[in-house]
Amino acid sequence: MTKTPLVFTKDRIGSYDRGNGVVTQLFCSGERCGAEVTTGTTTLPVGRSVQLHSHNCDEQIVILQGHAEAEFRGERFPIGPMEVAFIPKGEVHCFHNVGDETVVMLFIYAAPEVTRTFAGSGETVRHLSEHDLAQPRS
């Protein structure tokens, strides 16, 4: 893909319903704009979490709004607005909304194509595919 400057206005940024009220918006990725990184936001409603998982690349999360806890290595760490979590490739982790407002997280994956491997099942799925759910199916 030939890279070219792009502007994605709000009407061109799609939303992905990941279940349990969790919504992700994709900004750039290898497929979408030829980027060497994948970026976007995920909103996490009050009291909601995403299931424990890992990725095929390093990840950075910047909390833009709300208060969360990042969980990894059996511990939870508070993280709030304009604070950053760095999660190395293969590290099992998740995020929990522990505040009283929606959490908005900016994600930056260090890869043009991202996968998610769920810790509970061992299943690996393509990022934002129909199987990339916030919580396992009941």
In the chain, where the domains are located: 26-114
Report which of 91, 83, 88, 132 is spatially closest to residue 110, judged by C-alpha positions. Answer: 88
Report, as an integer, the average pLDDT of 100-127: 97
Report which of 27, 31, 37 is spatially closest to residue 58, judged by C-alpha positions. Answer: 37
Is residue 48 within 8 Å of 130, Cβ to Cβ? no
**Confidence category of residue 103, pLDDT binned at 50, 70, 90:** very high
Distance CA 123, CA 128 (A): 14
Report, as an integer, the average pLDDT of 114-135: 95
**Confidence category of residue 137, pLDDT binned at 50, 70, 90:** low
The CATH homologous superfamily for domain 26-114 is Jelly Rolls (2.60.120.10)
pLDDT for 138: 55
**Tens-place pLDDT, residues 8-53:** 999 899 899 999 999 999 999 999 999 999 999 999 999 999 999 9
pLDDT for 3: 86
* Residue 55: both structure tokens together: 């990725």
Q: Is the pLDDT of residue 2 over 80?
A: no
DSSP assignment string, 33-56: H--SSEEEEEEE-TT-B---EEES
Is residue 107 within 8 Å of 115, Cβ to Cβ? no
Alpha helices in 9-109 (DSSP H): 30-33
pTM for this prediction = 0.94
Distance CA 34, CA 5 (A): 10
